[in-house]
Homo-oligomer: A and B are copies of this chain.
Amino acid sequence: MSELSPTARLTAFGSLSDQEMALLKDLAGPTCRFSRGDAIITEGAATSRCYLLLDGWTASTITLPSGARQMLKVHMPGDLLGTPSLAYGYSAETVTAFSDVTVAALALAPFGRMFEEAPRLAAMLFLISQEERVLLMDRIAAMGRSTAKERLATVFLQLRARVIRSDPDGGDSFRVPLTQIDLADLAGITSVHVSRVLQQLRDDGLVDWTRGVVTIIDLRRLAELSGLPLRVAQVERSWLPAAR
């Protein structure tokens, strides 16, 4: 949830504002580190905590019995990892580090206390979850009803939206530590086809992609291609509980 007040930089750390991060880190245990490729959460493992991502990128994936991998989301600092699985006894997703990452573990007990002692923060986390749901809903619409080219457009737009959240002044060219294989896993197509479709997007003057650097060339037309609105989280905050 970005703080949309004029005091802009509260968005600096991504989904959670600095205030909220601080509160959460109070609740959280000591931080720990992972290296590129490490699994932070493993599909099927018992859920005893979630994590607050402090530094680095991670991704959550589901692996089907066939071995096929579907990537669900790319996480950036400020995102919570593993919350969906709180509703189940085991984890539904695997969360892997894309780079060296730092996370803070959030045990269940403090998480529960938060609902009693910090209702405003709880409401914020609720809203963040709703935002995540909309993100997933958009992905479903894209995957169910559009071509590979359109899906990739959606992937780039969602990445852009999230990156801008963390770095509002970053412009429309940014590094993402993903390979075309990862893009394929995100879009639900093969990496071979990603390569071909990227060519088309380049030729059409919409996006450029060079070894992990994305450049959004024509945002308007890219959004048009994607078919989904450029969503801007914008909460009617008047109804939130007062800060304590």
Chain A positions within 8 Å of B, measured between CB atoms, are: 1, 44, 47-48, 60, 62, 64-66, 68-70, 72, 83-89, 92-93, 108-109, 111-113, 115-116, 119-120, 122-123, 125-134, 136-141, 143-146, 185, 187-189, 224, 227-229, 231-236, 238-241
Contact = CB atoms under 8 A, between A and B. Distances in A.
Contact of A137 (B62, B138, B232, B235): B62
B141 A72 contact: yes
Contacts of A108: 236, 238-239
By secondary structure, the A interface counts as helix
Given A123-B112, A145-B69, A241-B112, A87 B128 contact: yes
Contacts of A133: 83-84, 129, 132-133, 136
B89 A239 contact: no
Given A115-B123, A136-B140, 12 more contacts: A62-B228, A64-B145, A70-B141, A70-B145, A84-B134, A86-B235, A88-B232, A88-B235, A109-B239, A112-B240, A116-B119, A144-B189
